Homo-oligomer: A and B are copies of this chain.
Amino acid sequence: MTFPVVGMVGGGQLARMTHEAGIPLGIRFKLLSDTPQDSAAQVVGDVVVGDYRDLETLRAFARGCDVITFDHEHVPTEHLRALEADGIPVRPGPDALVHAQDKGVMRAKLDAIGVPCPRHRVVSDPEDVAAFAAEGDGFPVVLKTVRGGYDGKGVWVVGSVEEAAEPFKAGVAVLAEEKVDFVRELAANVVRSPHGQAVAYPVVESRQVNGVCDTVIAPAPDLDEDLALRAEEMALNIAKELGVVGHLAVELFQTRDGRILVNELAMRPHNSGHWSMDGAITSQFANHVRAVLDLPLGDPRPRAKWTVMVNVLGGDYPDMYSAYLHCMARDPQLKIHMYGKDVKPGRKVGHVNTYGDDLDDVLERARHAAGYLRGTITE
């Protein structure tokens, strides 16, 4: 056996940070990217520019790779099966990945294995939505296209049967879910390898702004120990039952009455795990690489009492580099992670991590840096 080649489909920031984590392992990293300017394509040596929706492009890319993994969940299932038939390990495999691609399939599976979810049902038209609402506490109801949504896209909160018309216009199946009365959102992140080893990161609190992840606190403050343990066990169980290989993010609602319900699944390194780059003994990216190569997993425990991640969104001011001077001088412990992406308002272009013993201080430092980089804080 010599050093293997990991083929990464997708050139976004998750691929970029996975490459960064793979360099110390001495593995070869090969990238299939939409364009040569994509975030990861800027920093990877071996880049193939091509369309992952084209099977022959995928097949040609996969030749010479020892394993294929992903920056996103959009590769068609039939293509993944074709690669497997060619003898290329695909991790996570198509049978697992479909649960992250199709929210209807995901909800059916979680029901079957007894994982608590918000009340839900695939609905056929606005009247059906009204019937779903009437079966529970009435409107508002959450509607989601079963495929294609992310970061708040493909999700609607509708207050009436009239408002329920919009989601059906795309011609994609629609899932109705109760609007959960949650006190906060959590994420339980785990990594699982083909031989069945799995590790659980501490459960984190994830704060969203306009449907987009804004702040992650690791570990989740004031989280009951039993609840944390239950969330970790639930995520490990989901990974096992769904046959996940690699990183699995389980986004959770913590309800007012003390339950945890699964909101979404993601089968790749995830925004809620970015804190681990500076805050854990082994980052989610390093463990994802180890998992897809079926290497023993690294210790997921935190290195600091508190680690905070705040996303850097594009603002009106495009020159983020000049903001480095202030941010680095103000906080010599600050960890900046920029993705090489053009600044567009609202676009995730980077994140910052801070860590330390005092949560208020750690939060303030991360928020200040992210705000300054974005241009919403100017002093």
A residues whose Cβ falls under 8 Å from a Cβ of B: 1-4, 16-17, 19-20, 23-26, 28-29, 41-45, 47, 277, 281-282, 290, 295-299, 303, 319-322, 324-325, 328-329, 332-340, 350
What's the Cα separation between A44 and B340 when bound, in Å? Answer: 14
Instruction: Count identical subunits in the complex.
Output: 2
Contact status A296-B2, CB under 8 Å: no
Could you tell me the distance in whole angstroms from the C-beta of A310 to the nearest C-beta in chain B? 15
- Report 18 cross-chain contacts, Cβ distance below 8 Å, ordered by A residue: A16-B23, A24-B277, A24-B335, A24-B337, A26-B320, A26-B339, A26-B350, A28-B42, A29-B43, A41-B45, A42-B45, A43-B44, A45-B47, A282-B332, A295-B328, A296-B329, A297-B328, A298-B332
Chain B residue with Cβ nearest A353: B24
Chain B residues whose C-beta falls within 8 Å of the C-beta of A325 in the assembled complex: 295-296
Looking at the assembled complex, report how far the CB atom of A201 sits from the nearest CB atom of chain B, in whole angstroms.
13
Q: Which residue of B lies closest to A322 (CB)?
A: B1
Query: In whole angstroms, how far apart are the Cα atoms of A336 and B43 in the complex?
Result: 21
Residues of B within 8 Å of A322, CB to CB, are 1
The smallest beta-carbon distance between A181 and chain B, in angstroms, is 38
Structural contact, A321 and B44, CB atoms closer than 8 A:
no
Nearest CB of chain B from residue A293's CB, rounded to whole Å: 8
Interchain CB contact (< 8 A) of A299 among B23, B324, B332: B332
- Cβ of A296: which chain B residues have Cβ within 8 Å of it? 324-325, 328-329, 332
CA separation between A45 and B33, bound complex, in Å?
A: 13
- The complex places the Cα of A322 from the Cα of B294 at a distance, in Å, of 12
Q: Which of B25, B277, B350 contacts A338 (CB 8 A)?
A: B25
Residue of B nearest to A324 (CB): B295
Cβ contact of A20, chosen from B20, B41, B320, cutoff 8 A: B20
Task: List 14 additional A-B contacts (Cβ < 8 Å) besides A1-B319, A24-B277, A44-B45.
Answer: A2-B321, A17-B23, A19-B43, A20-B23, A24-B338, A25-B338, A42-B45, A295-B328, A296-B324, A296-B325, A296-B329, A297-B332, A298-B332, A298-B333
Shortest distance between the CB of A15 and any CB in chain B (Å): 11
- Chain B residues, CB < 8 A from A328: 290, 295-298
Question: Inside 8 A of A16's CB, which chain B residues have their CB?
Answer: 23
CB neighbours (8 Å) of A1 from chain B are: 319, 321-322
CB of A153, distance to nearest CB on chain B (Å)? 25
Residues of B near A332 (CB, < 8 A) are 281-282, 296-299
Chain B residues contacting A29 (CB-CB under 8 Å) are 43
User: A42-B45, A45-B44 are contacts. A26–B338 as well, Cβ < 8 Å?
Assistant: yes
Most chain B beta-carbon contacts within 10 A, residue among A45, A322, A350: A45
CB distance from A113 to the nearest CB of B (A): 28
Chain B residues near A23 (CB-CB < 8 A): 16-17, 19-20, 43
B contact residues around A297 at 8 Å (CB): 328, 332
Known: A23-B43, A45-B44, A295-B324. A281 touches B333 (CB 8 A): yes
